[in-house]
A and B are shown apart, each in its own frame.
Chain A
Amino acid sequence: MSGANTLTIEQVISAARQIPSLSVLVMEILASFDKKDVNFTDLVRKIGRDQGLTARVLQVANSPFYGNSGKIGSIKGAVVVLGFHNVRSLVAAAGLINQFPISEIPSSFDRLSFWHHNIGVAVCAHHLAKISGRDESLAFTAGLLHDVGKLVLDAYFNKNFAAVRACCAADDVTMVMAERAELGLDHAQIGYELTRRWRFPAPIQKAIRDHHNPEYEPNSLTDLVHVANVLSHMLDFDDRNSDLMPSLSVAAWTRLDMDHDMLPIQMAEIERQYASMKLLAQE
C-alpha cells in the first residue's frame, strides 16, 4: 500500500498526542464507569461547578422526552429525576462533544451531522444494553465515540480525509472501506489509539477498534456498538455524511440474542430518545 494518501499508525499516534487532554472532570467521570465504589455526592458537586456542562445536561433533562419541561434547574435535580447513571453519561457526552468544536475548521465533512449519527449510536447502544441487561453507561459512551477516529482525520489529516470522502462518492463504498483503500488504515484503529491515550475503560477501547469487525475479539460491548451502528444508519440519524447501510454481522446479532420481531418497538423507543438526546450537539 503506497498511495499518495497513505498514513502510518505512527503519524496518527503523533497527531493524537496534539489533541488536548480531556478535562480532569470528564476523565474522572469516565474512570468512574469502571468503579464499584463511586462517591456520587462528590461527583455531582463537581459537575455542578462546570456551568457549560451543566447547561447542556439540563437542556436534555428538560426536553419533552423526560416530561419535565423547564422544571429541572440543577444537576442535583437532574439526578433525582433521571438517576445518577444517566446524568453521568450525559455529562461525559457533553464533555466529549466539547472536545471537538463543531465549526473548528472549514471542511465539507459535516460535524453536526457526525455528532447526530454518534448520538444516535449512543442511544441505540444504551437501549439495546438496557433490554439485554448489559452496562448502559459503557454502551452509551462507546456508541458516542465509536467514530471519533473520523474527527482525528478531519482535524489533522484534512487532505487525506477529503480523498477518502471522494473515494466514497466515486466508488459508492462505506467510509471504512474507502479509508482502508486510500489510507491503509481506518477510523476504528485511530479511535482505538485515541481512547487508549485518554485511558478509557478497556472494553470501550476495544468496542471502538472492532465495531466494523466484531469477530476480531468477540465481546458484548463491541457487539452492542456494531448493531447500534447499523440501526443508527437504518434510522437515518446521519443523512449528510453517509447514506449507505453498513453490513450487519449475523454472529454479533445472534450473540446479543436480538429478537427481530421486537425491532419495530425498539426503533420507536430509540427514535423518541434520540429526539431529546440530539440536543447535546448544537451549533
Chain B
Amino acid sequence: MINIERLTLDQVETGMLLAQDVCNPNGTCLLSEGMMLSAAMIAALRQREVDYVMVSQEVPLTLEESATLEAGIRARIERLFRVAGTDPIMLKLRNTLLQYRLSALNKSNSPLKLED
C-alpha cells in the first residue's frame, strides 16, 4: 500500500519519492512530484529553507489488511455484476476484472511476500 506522509528535511532519506511538487513561498516549483530525492536535492532544499516535503512510501500490508482488501475487491465485483447472470462474456469479464484487481493488490504487497 502507498502511504503519503509529511516529513521534515531531517526525517527524509535519499531514495524517497516526492508525493507533491515542492514549491518555494512565491510559488516557484523547485522539484516535481514523482522525483526521487537525492542527497544533493535534500541539501538544496535545506539551502532554500524548505521545512517539509510530502513523500510517498510503499508500506507492506499485514496479512489481515490484505485479506480485508481482497474481501472488499470481491464484494465490489459481486455488486457490479449482480445482474449479469450466467452470460458467458460477462462471466469472462468478471473473472478478468477479479484477476486484474487481485494481481494489483499482490503487486503492492510484494515486500511482505518476500519476507515470508
A268 to chain B: which residues have CB within 8 Å?
Answer: 100
Cβ of A267 under 8 Å from chain B: yes
Size range of the chain B interface in the assembly: 20 to 34
- Please indicate the chain A residues that have their CB under 8 angstroms from the CB of B99 in the complex: 264
Contacting B at CB under 8 A, from A78-103, are none
* Partner of A250 from B76, B84, B89, B96 at Cβ < 8 Å: B89
Contact of B111 with A by CB under 8 A: no
Among the listed A69, A245, A263, which residue makes an inter-chain contact with B80, where contact means beta carbons less than 8 Å apart? A245
Q: How far, in Å, is A210 (CB) from chain B's closest CB?
A: 19
- Identify which of B87, B93, B103 contacts A234 (C-beta below 8 A): B93
Query: Least Cβ distance of A216 to chain B in Å?
Result: 19
Provide the B97-111 mask, 1 if CB < 8 A to any CB of A, else 0: 101100100000000
- B92 near A260: Cβ-Cβ < 8 Å: yes
Contact A236 B80 (CB under 8 A): yes
Residue on A with the closest CB to B32? A69
CA distance A233 to B79 in the complex (A): 12
Q: Does A77 contact B (CB under 8 A)?
A: no
A217 to B92, CA, bound (A): 26
Q: Bits for A27-68, please: 1 = Cβ < 8 Å to B, else 0.
A: 000000000000000000000000000000000000010000
Chain B residue nearest to A172 (CB atoms) is B83
Q: How far is the CA of A268 from the CA of B97 in the complex (A)?
A: 11
Interface string of B1-26 (1 = CB under 8 A from A): 00000000000000000000100000
Q: Which residue of the partner chain A has the closest CB to B76?
A: A236
**Chain B residues, CB < 8 A from A234:** 80, 93, 97
Residue pair A69, B100 in contact (C-beta under 8 Å): no
List residues of chain B with CB within 8 A of the CB of A173.
Answer: 83
Measured as residues with beta carbon below 8 angstroms from the partner, the interface class of chain A is 20 to 34
Query: How distant is B18 from chain A, measured CB to nearest CB, in Å?
Result: 10
Contact of A244 with B83 in the complex, beta carbons under 8 Å: yes
Q: How far is the CA of A70 from the CA of B33 in the complex (A)?
A: 10
Number of A-B contacts (CB under 8 A): 50
B114 at the interface (CB under 8 A from A): no
Query: Judging by beta carbons under 8 Å apart, are B33 and A244 in contact?
Result: no
Q: Most B CB atoms within 10 A — which of A172, A230, A253, A263?
A: A263
- Does A244 lie within 8 Å of B100, measured CB to CB? no
State the Cβ distance, A170 to closest chain B Cβ, in Å. 14
A244 to B99, CA, bound (A): 19
Residue among A244, A245, A250 with max Cβ neighbours from chain B (10 Å)? A245
Q: Shortest distance in angstroms between A141's beta carbon and chain B's nearest beta carbon?
A: 25
Mask for A227-264, Cβ within 8 A of B = 1, else 0? 00010011010000001110110100100000010011
For A64, what are the chain B residues with a Cβ–Cβ distance below 8 Å? 33-34
Are A70 and B21 within 8 A (Cβ)? yes
Q: Is B82 an interface residue (CB 8 A)?
A: yes
Q: Which residues of B contact A250 (CB under 8 A)?
A: 89
Nearest CB on A from B91, distance (A): 11
Report A115-170 residues with CB < 8 Å from chain B CB: none
Cβ contact within 8 Å between B80 and A243 = yes
Contact with B along A153-196 (1 / 0, CB 8 A): 00000000000000000001100000000000000000000000
Chain B residues within CB distance 8 Å of chain A: 21, 29, 32-34, 76, 79-84, 87, 89-90, 92-93, 96-97, 99-100, 103
Return 6 A-B CB contacts under 8 Å, by A number: A172-B83, A243-B79, A248-B93, A263-B100, A264-B103, A267-B100
Contacts A234-B93, A267-B97 supplied; 8 other A-B pairs, CB < 8 Å: A69-B21, A69-B33, A173-B83, A244-B83, A245-B81, A245-B90, A264-B96, A267-B100
| Chain A residues proximal to chain B, CB less than 8 Å | 64, 69-70, 172-173, 230, 233-234, 236, 243-245, 247-248, 250, 253, 260, 263-264, 267-268
